[in-house]
Amino acid sequence: MADSRFVMNVKGISIAFVPRIFFQAKLQNIFKELLKNEDKVLEEISFRVNYYNKINEDFSEILLNSKNKEKLGKLPFKDTSLAYDGYKISKYFKDDFLWIKKYGDVSFHLNEPSICKSRLIEGENQNNILLKLDKNRHFVFLKDNLVFEDKKDKAVWRGSAYQKHRIEFLQNYFDKEFCDIGDTRKSNGGDDLERYRKEGLSKKAQMEFKFIISLEGNDVASSLKWNMSSNSLVFAPQMRCETWFMEGILKPNEHFVLIDNENLEDKIEYYKTHIKEAKEIINNAHSYIEQFLDEKKEFYIGILVLAKYFYHSKQMELPKEILDLIKG
């Protein structure tokens, strides 16, 4: 279960005041422990590191000339959830190392190699280097005790409809009998979207439906991870953005059902009667999630993503065995 905002801030501030030298002294041993993994695991680690960090050439001049660079040792007192998650990995590297980071929702291509939470799936996205950030909100996986067959024969969605694509989705489907969807923003006293407002639903309540709709927000859909861990079938439009969850690897109609502003009813009717196919997609989603559940492996991957960043910015040397893992 995710920590509350208060608990997260207490943990983050506590970690920030432990001397970084204590963690930096462990880095070489971390590399050694990492390399003890079986070849298959190392291949998985290598693939993900190079998926997140696609920089494979010297960018030291870009970094040195950047107005956005800062020293790694800076304490994280803003952008709290992202900053704490970044600090948990970056504290293993020297305080005077330089980096560029772009915290927040990033749905565009960055001009400089930068650490961030999200990026566009398509196009030249190599400057958007992904770390597992804001994981308290994004990386929530749930246990669903209700089997697919016993759930309600409707699709459900709750969220804040600030974005054009979410508003259009509401306009198309809000009053349809086959779904229960609604805008959870607080009323401001009568704007054009007032008619689409509904009370929020807990995750548990949403998991009572056979079909859960996942709609991207400013970048990705933060709910996608727990949606896919449920025993409900995830419906989603074509995804534009990705995070550490590697949404760009997800295959429509294999890990989720691809929908648009016209075909939702048809998809619901189909999977209400094709139970076996629905459950196969749900099982595929569960299998996909398994790769993110090993906290030790997640830690190693984060370390290597940053090690690759500092290596290609000419700030550190790496053992040959580690270099072999980060070759793109």
Q: What is the pLDDT of residues 224-254, one digit of tens each?
A: 999 999 999 999 999 999 999 999 999 999 9
**What is the residue-averaged pLDDT of the chain?**
92
What per-residue confidence (pLDDT) applies to 144? 97
pLDDT tens figures, 33-68: 999 999 999 999 999 999 999 999 999 999 999 999
What per-residue confidence (pLDDT) applies to 13? 56
More confident residue, 35 or 82: 35
Over residues 218-224, the mean pLDDT reads: 94
Neighbour count for residue 276 (Cβ, 10 Å): 6
What per-residue confidence (pLDDT) applies to 219? 94
CA distances from 179 to 66, 231, 273, 297 (A): 49, 17, 16, 39
Q: How confident is the model at residue 17 (pLDDT cuts 50, 70, 90)?
A: low
In one letter, which amino acid is 27?
Answer: L
pLDDT tens figures, 303-324: 999 999 999 999 999 999 999 9
Q: What is the pTM (predicted TM-score) of this model? A: 0.92
Judge whether residue 223 has pLDDT over 70.
Answer: yes
Please report, rounded to a whole number, the percentage of residues in the chain having pLDDT higher than 90. Answer: 83
Judge whether residue 79 has pLDDT over 60.
Answer: no
- The answer to whether the beta carbons of residues 239 and 183 sit under 8 Å apart is no
Judge whether residue 8 has pLDDT over 60.
Answer: no
Judge whether residue 293 has pLDDT over 70.
Answer: yes
- The answer to whether the beta carbons of residues 181 and 158 sit under 8 Å apart is yes
